[in-house]
Structure 1
Amino acid sequence: MADFEQLIETAIAENEIPGCVLNAVNRDGSFTYSKAFGKRSVREGGDQSPLTPSTIMWIASCTKLMTSICAMQLVERGLLSLDEPVYKLIPELKDFPIITGIDESGKPIEIPHTTPMTLRHLLSHSSGMTYDQIHPLTIAWAKYHGQDAGASGDLLTRFSCPMIFEPGTSWFYGASVDYAGLLIERATGETLEEFMKTNLWEPLGIKNMTFAMSRRPDLKERQAEISERDEKTGKMRFMDARQPYMDANRQDVKSCMGGQGAFASPEEYIKVLQALLTSDENEKILKKETVDLFFTPQLSPGGVAALNMILTDETTNNAMGGTAKHIEKNWGLGGLLLQGDDDDGKTTGTMVWGGLPNIAWFCDRKAGLCGLYSGQVLPTGDAKIAVLQRKFEAAMYEQYNKNRNV
């Protein structure tokens, strides 16, 4: 057994993780790795059957990559533009203010934004939008308004907090790609799931994905439960809490959340990564010039500075790919971009991202390799899981390079 596999087995035996599913594949499929470890639930009385590559998971922000690909398909068709203001299709965004502070009474201080917001801003997280519970100013804004926007099933209500900077001037993570999903819907007259199914999932032979589990009881039967790490013991326990894919009544949200709403099996999601890896050759999901643009750094100097400052925090860095801190990062149109070679084998230009329940993916065009660590554990950026993710990725490069005698 490989060293990283033994580490995973030990972590499961010691109840440090419930399990995980690992996938990797190169351009032509001559190198593949697919293996599942552990069980679907740690809940007493829960379904503790083994995880498999076909187990359904909430993939959270892994949804963003698929939404970004679909948006660029519409750019190719001339239905969307990267650099025109988005207000024609989403007029609601035109009046979003920028929050600049909180006065002595606790009231938010807001000013209008003056730089038009574009699809390029949305896909690169340079729009000025954030999630209301991850920035101090918007946390204070939500408290002042007594608002739990996350309980809403409607995208426009859920992601209604003010912006935190002028579009294009900085970088911060948030609901930008959720709004890109709404842009797709209004440009096509279809739901995001309908468009994604026709233009991404079906061309790749993907059948086991959805934005609403209530529509797919067959997938619900195969879903892994979410666990959380007990702060005192460090061990796993069942997490019985409302998740972002639920409304206040713990039902499916009404909107297709393009930044966080999809459910999929690891064996299906790796098809998206391999398609992105190979589309510069076969143009199956995007044209070659679009793929090149997809992997081109998009941020302004202010955005680069903000992104790399944020990544100095260990937990945040773990949640955002766990890449070496000495390497400068930028952002493409679908994920974080490495601007140097990483110690584990990733090369310059590799795109990485993941999802809230400690999921992580990478797509390395230069090496010709992509991979996916899939789990269902919170909180995000878990240090113990980050070690396992990095060991897995380094092992994939080592095995892959041995296979091709590098």
Structure 2
Amino acid sequence: MSLRKLLMAATALVVLSGCASLQEPRAAAPGVPNPAHVDQVLKGFTDTGKLVGVSALVTENGKEVYFGAFGAADREAGRKMARDTIVSIYSMTKPITGVALMSLWEEGKFRLDDPVAKYIPELANVKVYAGTDASGAPILTAPNRPMTIRDVARHTAGLTYCSKDNLPELKAGCDAANPLALSHSLDDFAKALGSLPLEYQPGEKWRYSFGVDVQALLVQRISGKPFAQYVQEKILTPLHMTDTGFFVPPEKRDRLAAIYERDEDGTFTRKIDDTSITLNTGHWAMTPGGFGLTSTLDDYSRFARMLAGGGELDGVRILKPATVKLMSTSVLDPAVTERSWLPSKGTVGFGIDFAVRTDPPQTADEAAGEVGEFFWDGAAYTLFWVDPKNKLTAVFFTQYQPFGKVPAHKAFRDAVYAGVDPSALPPQ
């Protein structure tokens, strides 16, 4: 065990000082996460009120080496976080959309450098914002080049979201167009998006965006099937991801986790179900590619294990190994230096719908991980990663917003990679 890893594990324990002792410590096999240590870290978050509920599942070489669930999935109903709890995975929908798109690429149905407008003509005439004139009106110019499918897969298309990260001059127009309104179909989404200017020239910056929702429409147009149907037939059904989808049927609602808002004082207020889970409890025209799926630990672990297996799980092949490698290799040009908040994820680049670790952690403040791992997370602070070097996958669930106010991702990562009994750490 390197000194760096020991220190990182110790740091995680310091963050969670005061967490409850385990009644029945479990031994770890050599080279795999120590379950007692990971338990102590995760349980510490719920015991101290830093999270309402948390669960995690880790596999190595395709075998489960850790599972734990602590706290509440629904505090008000007195329902515990459990292995079969269904959670809103938000942007962890994006890798599933990317796999759907790349399955069509494997079939030769498109090229990554095809202009998006070849398949979505609604985006053929978009302009690029270039500031304002003397009267304050926006100046719009033609793109230097068309946005490509590769651009929308790596968030370099010129698109953003209607969010606080938007340019203030454009946010009002984006809000008014509301491209991802639940009443919109993906075709309506394209029309609304086509009415908005790009915020930068394609290829110049990395900005999180509607790009993966564009991918969903590409899947729909190229395959000739509704996006949700294609995902079901190509990914969810073959992988036996039986609890993953846009709609949670009534008979499963008692397994659906509540979502909580973390207040400034560290307390949690339950978000109103009518707004927080509306998409998943009704049938809507919108089936976005960038968010919207719900899933369970076991379901998403199956997806992660498929990726770890080079596109195959239990004899079912979803993608070719070379395609998974392409998706999990950073394709960000070093000249793309404006990368928004992506550097907050660590020393990473970006592939096709995955962040990719390109260098070891540079400081003790950076979460543990291995070069070559690929991962993504979700707005309710869910997380998964695939570590090819150690043949490891990990899925982490909790349900709170705003993202990142509790450092649980780092603590969980550090605990997984520590692989030591906490009692063996140097005294604090």
Alignment of 1:248-287 (within 5 A): 253-279=284-310, 284-287=317-320
For the pair 1:377 / 2:400, whether they are aligned, the reply is yes
Counterpart CA distance in 2 for 1:146 and 1:66 is 26
For the pair 1:101 / 2:136, whether they are aligned, the reply is no
Residue 57 of structure 2 aligns to which amino acid in structure 1?
A: N
User: Which deviates the most, 391-400 or 143-152?
Assistant: 143-152
Counterpart CA distance in 2 for 1:146 and 1:361 is 30
User: Which deviates the most, 279-288 or 361-370?
Assistant: 279-288
The percent of aligned pairs where both chains have the same amino acid is: 26
For the pair 1:65 / 2:95, whether they are aligned, the reply is yes
Counterpart CA distance in 1 for 2:42 and 2:312 is 35
**1:83 is matched with which residue?**
113
**1:334 is matched with which residue?**
353
**1:364 is matched with which residue?**
387
Counterpart CA distance in 1 for 2:181 and 2:312 is 43
Residue 82 of structure 1 aligns to which amino acid in structure 2?
A: L
Distance 1:225 1:147, change over 3 A: same
**1:21 is matched with which residue?**
55
The structure 1 residue matched to 2:202, chosen from 155, 167, 171, is 167
For the pair 1:212 / 2:242, whether they are aligned, the reply is no
Contact 1:152 1:158 in 2 (8 A): no
Counterpart CA distance in 1 for 2:100 and 2:238 is 12
Alignment of 1:196-345 (within 5 A): 196-213=231-248, 216-231=249-264, 233-240=265-272, 243=275, 246=278, 253-279=284-310, 284-303=317-336, 305-307=337-339, 310-311=341-342, 317=344, 321=345, 323=346, 327=347, 329-342=348-361, 345=368
Contact 2:123 2:193 in 1 (8 A): no
TM-score w.r.t. length of structure 2 = 0.80
Counterpart CA distance in 1 for 2:38 and 2:238 is 34
1:244 to partner: Cα distance = 7.6
The structure 2 residue matched to 1:393, chosen from 413, 418, 426, is 413
Counterpart CA distance in 2 for 1:49 and 1:83 is 48
TM-score w.r.t. length of structure 1 = 0.84
Contact 2:177 2:193 in 1 (8 A): no
Residue 84 of structure 2 aligns to which amino acid in structure 1?
A: S
Residue 301 of structure 2 aligns to which amino acid in structure 1?
A: I
The structure 1 residue matched to 2:73, chosen from 40, 59, 73, is 40
Secondary structure at 1:289 match in 2: helix
Secondary structure at 1:20 match in 2: strand
Secondary structure at 1:206 match in 2: coil
Distance 1:280 1:65, change over 3 A: closer
Contact 1:153 1:252 in 2 (8 A): no
Secondary structure at 1:356 match in 2: coil
Superposition CA RMSD, Å:
2.6
1:151 to partner: Cα distance = 4.4
The structure 2 residue matched to 1:181, chosen from 201, 207, 216, is 216
Counterpart CA distance in 2 for 1:95 and 1:246 is 33
Secondary structure at 1:87 match in 2: helix
1:267 to partner: Cα distance = 1.5
Distance 1:201 1:311, change over 3 A: closer
**2:27 is matched with which residue?**
none
**1:11 is matched with which residue?**
45
Q: Which runs of 5+ in 1 are unaligned?
A: 402-406
Distance 1:243 1:79, change over 3 A: farther
**1:141 is matched with which residue?**
170
Counterpart CA distance in 1 for 2:150 and 2:174 is 30
Counterpart CA distance in 2 for 1:362 and 1:293 is 16
Counterpart CA distance in 1 for 2:98 and 2:376 is 13
Larger radius of gyration: 2
1:148 to partner: Cα distance = 6.4
Counterpart CA distance in 2 for 1:151 and 1:38 is 33
Counterpart CA distance in 1 for 2:275 and 2:132 is 29
Contact 2:375 2:384 in 1 (8 A): yes
Q: Which runs of 5+ in 2 are unaligned?
A: 1-21, 23-35, 422-428
What's the CA shift string for 1:147-192, capped at 9, x where partnerless? Answer: 1615453241665642122222221101101110110011112122
Counterpart CA distance in 2 for 1:220 and 1:39 is 15
Distance 1:69 1:273, change over 3 A: same
Residue 330 of structure 1 aligns to which amino acid in structure 2?
A: G
